[in-house]
Structure 1
Amino acid sequence: MSQNIPRIPLDLRKHKLAIAIPWTIIVTTGCFIPVAVYFGVHYGTNKDLTTALSPGLATFGASSGYNLYFRFWSLYKAKSTCRPVNSPSRWFLDNFMWNFMILFGILTVLISVAIAKEQVRVASLSLSILMFAVGLQMVIVVVLRSFRVQSPFQVSSAPPGETVKSAALAIVEDVVAVDAKQGAEMRALLLARYDASPPIQNLFWKLDLLWGVSALGVAAGIVAIIFAVHNYSVGFAVGYSVPWIWAGLMTIVTIQMVKAAKREEERYFSQAGSID
């Protein structure tokens, strides 16, 4: 039986710069700068821990705050073209934005308290908390989808009343629409492709499970190391480097999974004739 599959007229290779710039800044300020400044000041001078922690973590906070403002304004402004499909108002932000704002607030408080109290181990937890939050959501979505639970509210562009879709799908939709500047039309096309293609649904189910479980496992390991090692500086280095190494490796695995899913989709819809 033939079936028309919604085409996705998007080549992310043409938008690598738009996506790479903010994420390169986040990785640089969320890994290299905090670690370099901390070790440089703490071991290269006689300054106290507050001075060693503050500059690097403040830079991380500032870059995250800038990206938060950029995303919020892109979604909220009156002539926004990237809000979720069927948004009831300007205040209906996408799922990525709500996570960003809530976690930014939590981590800002955590890091501020850690700096004030000179608690290096507490300051080392920020990225692990982020991994726990995102990983837990993904695992919960996998469970809900397995039991075919219907969503009680709209998640990004996925409407309420339908079986819970995918946490990874929501992330892809939000990043492509806002960060890659592809807008609401691309949101609709991504959802249509997902709904029409069982291989793509299976791909996102696997991505939710893989990213979610690995995030929880790696984050738990990082926290254990932070509080187990005698030298809290080692825990700081682990806390601000391992999450990015994990994310990089997972990205490589994800790219290979996407390529395999597209081949499977082509086989599945070999008679459709409308695969992008």
Structure 2
Amino acid sequence: SDDVCFEPTPPPLNYSLAPRKWSIVFFWSLIVVDCIFMPVGLYFGLWYGLTRRQLSANAVFSIVTAALGGVSIMEYVLRLRRLMRKGSTCRPIGARRAYLDWFHWNFSLGWFIIMIELIVGTVPAHPPIRLLAMPVPSMLYAFGTELVIVDILRIFHVPAPIRISSMPAGSQLRPCIYSIIEDVVAVDGSGGTAFREALNRRYEASHIFRAMLRRLGVVWAIGAQSAAIVLTILIFTIQDQAAYVVGWAVPFLWAGVWSAGTWWYVERMLRKEKAAWAEEVAMKA
């Protein structure tokens, strides 16, 4: 680690979003279509369309529910395959094949909650539209709660109670957002285990990088929980069809704003990190 401190720049992550920007745009375009335009458009199209007299409320929501989540489910299956296949190059450092990764377990929990809501919501003859507006806020609750718990444990210096991706049980916890970055880039972003190792080196070597992740973790944890709570209040108080639109559309607007703010902040902090690193190297030389 002493050698790292004398390198002219912080340990590289060896990963860039630039060559993947169109893939990212394409993927998130599919997600937006799948999770906003599909449920909202299909609902209003069936409810007010030519088939309205032929379809009951239950039938409308059953059709909408059946059409939901195709892209997300496909991504779930693909990342499961990447983690489970023999000789996988994207597993957490030191983890067994069956462990998968921390993000995948949280993703699974979120989907489990969503499936319960959708099944319960489509059983009655007159489906509770407000409950059927809750799947995306529920996913925010799932991830937001996990982020908050991990950060509280970290603040109170509680060792990791279980393995969290590349951090084995009993190790010092890292900012709650660390494992999400590690898992998403390594698996979904094709960074592989090499990215996990590079991220670990960068985290251990750079105090500015660590501080950046701590702040981002707090912002995303509080943001996700706050957004979920506000959305829940809106969904169960405003007019029901408006609530349905809010429940499916607004979480993605929130995520877009938070992502844009994160992008700006990370770019700013990485420039600061680079300058501070150069100064520290010069002082040690």
TM-score by length of 1: 0.92
Aligned residue pair count: 271
Match of 1:127 in 2: 136
2:173 is the alignment partner of 1:164: yes
Equivalences for residues 110-259 of structure 1 within 5 A: 110-117=117-124, 118-229=127-238, 231-259=239-267
1:170 deviates by 0.9
Quote the residue 2:109 is aligned against.
102
Let me know the Cα RMSD of the aligned residues. 1.8
How far apart are 1:8 and its partner, in Å? 1.5
Q: What's the counterpart of residue 99 of structure 2?
A: 92
- The answer (yes or no) to whether the contact 2:148–2:221 under 8 Å persists in 1 is yes
| Uncovered stretches (5+) of structure 1, i.e. residues with no partner | none
Which whole-Å deviations, capped at 9, do the CAs of 1:74-102 have from their partners, x for residues lacking one? 10011211111111x21011111111122
Contact 2:111/2:139 (<8 A) preserved: no
Measured after TM superposition, the shift of residue 239 of structure 1 is 0.2
Instruction: Identify the residue that residue 13 of structure 2 maps to in structure 1.
Output: 8
Amino acid at match of 2:135: S
> Are the aligned partners of 2:109 and 2:142 in contact in 1 as well (CA < 8 Å)?
no
Mapped to 1, the partners of 2:105 and 2:122 lie a distance apart of: 26
Q: Within 2, Cα distance between the matches of 1:256 and 1:212?
A: 18
> Is structure 2 residue 68 aligned with structure 1 residue 63?
no
**What is the identity, as a one-letter code, of the residue corresponding to 2:195?**
M
Indicate yes or no: 2:34 matched with 1:26.
no
Give yes or no for contact 1:95–1:174 (8 Å, CA) kept in 2.
Answer: yes
CA gap of 1:156–1:20, structure 2 versus 1, over 3 A, is farther
Q: For residues 55 and 63 of structure 1, do their structure 2 counterparts lie closer, same or farther at Cα, with a shift above 3 Å needed?
A: farther
Where 1:129 maps in the other structure, the secondary structure is helix
Is residue 85–residue 188 contact of structure 1 (8 Å, CA) maintained in 2? yes
1:180 and 1:17 mapped to 2: Cα distance? 12
TM-score, normalisation: structure 2: 0.89
Q: Does 1:43 align with 2:51?
A: no
Give the aligned residue type for 2:193.
A
Please say if residues 30 and 71 of structure 2, whose CA atoms lie closer than 8 Å, have aligned partners that are also in contact. yes
Note the C-alpha offset of 1:133: 1.4
SS of corresponding position for 2:234: helix
| Offset, 1:141 | 2.2
One of 72, 83, 100 as aligned partner of 1:75? 83
Distance of aligned partners of 1:75 and 1:102 in 2 relative to their CA distance in 1, 3 Å threshold: same
CA contact (8 A) 1:84 1:187 kept: yes
Are residues 19 and 75 of structure 1, via their aligned partners in 2, closer, same or farther at CA, if it must alter by over 3 Å? farther
After superposition, the C-alpha distances for 1:28-61 in whole angstroms (9 at most, x for unaligned) are 2111110011111112223322232233332223
Name structure 2 gaps, 5 residues minimum: none
Q: CA deviation at 1:236?
A: 0.4
Structure whose alpha-carbon radius of gyration is higher: 2
